[in-house]
Amino acid sequence: MSQDLKKIIRQEYLKCAKDPAHFMKKYCNIQHPQRGRILFNLFPFQEKVLHLFQHNPYSIILKSRQLGLSTLSAGYSLWMMLFHKDKNILCIATKQETARNMVTKVKFMYDNLPSWLKIPAEENNKLSLRLNNGSIIKATSASSDAGRSEAVSLLLIDEAAFIDNIGEIWASSQQTLATGGGAIVLSTPYGTGNWFHKTWVSAENQQNDFLPIKLPWHVHPERDQEWRDRQDELLGDPRMAAQECDCDFSTSGDIVFYSEWIDFIQQTTIQKPLERRGVDQNLWVWESADYTREYMVTADVARGDGKDFSACHVIDIETNTQVAEYKGQLPPKEFGYFLTGLATEYNNAMLVVENANIGWATLDAIKERGYRNLYQSPKTDKMTAESYLRVYEGNSEMVPGFTMSMRTRPLCINKFREFVGDKSVTIRSRRLLEEMKVFVWRNGRPEAQRGYNDDLVMSFGIGMFLRDTSLKFQQQSLDMARAALGSVKSNKVSYSGGYGNVGSNVENPYKVKLGGKDHDISWLVG
């Protein structure tokens, strides 16, 4: 090799080592889906992102779909491996296959380099590429111990918003990054309240070490408004298109309660409580009891593992307004005593307690106190007015509490959504609103995002369902009871004067035996 050629190669090598954009544009080949193997001809926005990678150890990228950021990250990783010794790069994604794709892109670029740029590989398989200068790139799926073992020079997290346990992964990686490593976190948005969303917001507010990089669809020079309009048609849902193209958190994810609903509640009905009560100050009160109103108290009992909360709401049945709320970690029995007192305070409200698992301990405490206006559920899914009438007959077809099942759970949530969408419910609590923000569809099941609670949402959903379904049947049964007792009244000709009149020796016709005990049900007659 001539001295001139050696000099040219040396100059070119130094230029590549200094500028990753130059290296990638001249020597990195990519596999294009239509055109096959081509040089990675970087767009201006990609060059700018590369520059930001170089000068910022931590980058978080909120991106549109199909901008080539994964390929760009692969090229940057290869550049680090070739021109720096002992670099340990770890790729993490939702699935091992997705993470492996990043390594595959690196290997394709590596395999097609000119010989004078190549460093021999000591290890080359589906999940890793190790060079004999000590640098390596590996792929792994998202698990809680990912990135925990050895020091990591660069942590690549692809589609971070879709990784359930990303918070755990990030926490476990901190020790390994503490030696001077960095991270590139990239994703399209997927709902609010998750780790990616919170980290992005914190980065925008300069509250963490991440540099926020936002790349909506129009940064791509080959895309115009016609392309954007076509995405609405291709994706079939403008919300999905806003997520995938516009980097819009508010429309992203399989959220149960749409962002515009949340915004409306936030702006119109959320209030600070007038009073905070209890030892833990967790009973929030917006309206004191009005003895001319009818109320319902709906409760969800904590499992008792310390990870969730017992929660309840007091709801004005007529106006469908939240007037009080509790969220805390009272033991099940104490929670039962608390609910009894709260329901009694609010005009002997209908008390509804989910009867699953630990809920029975709470129900036993309520029954121990002798609270009578306790909601009863049919043992079967068939709900009729006659079923509720049998409560007064001591019929065993009914059980205390609300039975949450595979049938009733989606009904509760759908009724809740219906009321919120119609703006026919008044929600006062910011605690409830925060749970609604992170309440999503997961495999067709409505539940909180990983790491969050849905105790307030579920107990409120029970109230919304009962208000328009079971309580109607219950009211019908009361009407039937009134009619029956009215007939008794008209046939008791020997009875004269009202019950309790002085001098009357006639036995109270409204005293009945229920469950072996005497009960005065004259209140049914009005």
Are 141 and 37 members of one domain? Answer: yes
- Indicate the pLDDT class of residue 319, thresholds 50, 70 and 90: very high
Per the model's pLDDT, the better-predicted residue between 324 and 500 turns out to be: 324
Q: Which residues pair with 186 in a beta bridge?
A: 61, 158
Q: Which domain holds residue 514?
A: 495-526
Are 263 and 239 members of one domain? Answer: no
Residue 116, pLDDT > 60, answer yes
Alpha carbons 108 and 456: distance in angstroms, whole number: 51
Residue 481 forms part of a structural domain? no
Alpha carbons 398 and 396: distance in angstroms, whole number: 5
Query: Is 295:345 a contact under the CB 8 Å cutoff?
Result: no
Residue 487, pLDDT > 60, answer no
Are 218 and 153 members of one domain? Answer: yes
Query: Is 252:190 a contact under the CB 8 Å cutoff?
Result: yes
Query: Tokens 């720096």 map to which residue?
Result: 84
Are 184 and 267 members of one domain? Answer: no
- What mean pLDDT is predicted for residues 303-311? 73
Give the model confidence (pLDDT) of 9-23 as tens digits.
899 999 999 999 999
Residue 222 forms part of a structural domain? yes
Report the CATH number that the domain containing residue 426 is assigned in CATH.
3.30.420.240
Per the model's pLDDT, the better-predicted residue between 512 and 344 turns out to be: 344
Which is nearest to 167 in space by CA: 188, 185, 153, 180? Answer: 185
Residue 486 forms part of a structural domain? no
Q: Hey, what are 19's tokens?
A: 């500028």
The pLDDT value given to residue 505:
44
Are 273 and 351 members of one domain? Answer: yes
Taking CA atoms, 184 is separated from 57, 60, 155, 443, in Å, by 8, 6, 6, 29
Alpha carbons 99 and 491: distance in angstroms, whole number: 81
Ranges of beta strands (E only) in 266-375 are 275-277, 283-285, 295-300, 310-316, 321-328, 350-353
Which residues, in sequence order, are CB contacts of 157 under 8 Å at separation 6+? 92, 93, 163, 166, 169, 183, 184, 185, 186, 187
Alpha carbons 53 and 48: distance in angstroms, whole number: 9
Are 232 and 87 members of one domain? Answer: yes
Report the CATH number that the domain containing residue 27 is assigned in CATH.
3.40.50.300
Residue 459 forms part of a structural domain? yes
Residue 3 forms part of a structural domain? no
Alpha carbons 262 and 478: distance in angstroms, whole number: 37
Residue 480 forms part of a structural domain? no
Query: Is 76:53 a contact under the CB 8 Å cutoff?
Result: yes
Residue 115 forms part of a structural domain? yes
Q: Hey, what are 241's tokens?
A: 């298109």
Among 231, 251, 271, residue at a domain's last position = 251
Are 215 and 351 members of one domain? Answer: no
- Indicate the pLDDT class of residue 120, thresholds 50, 70 and 90: very high
**Structural domain tally of the chain?**
3
Are 175 and 323 members of one domain? Answer: no
Give the model confidence (pLDDT) of 248-257 as tens digits.
776 556 778 8
Give the model confidence (pLDDT) of 148-188 as tens digits.
556 889 999 998 988 888 888 888 888 778 778 899 999 98
Are 456 and 505 members of one domain? Answer: no
Are 77 and 216 members of one domain? Answer: yes
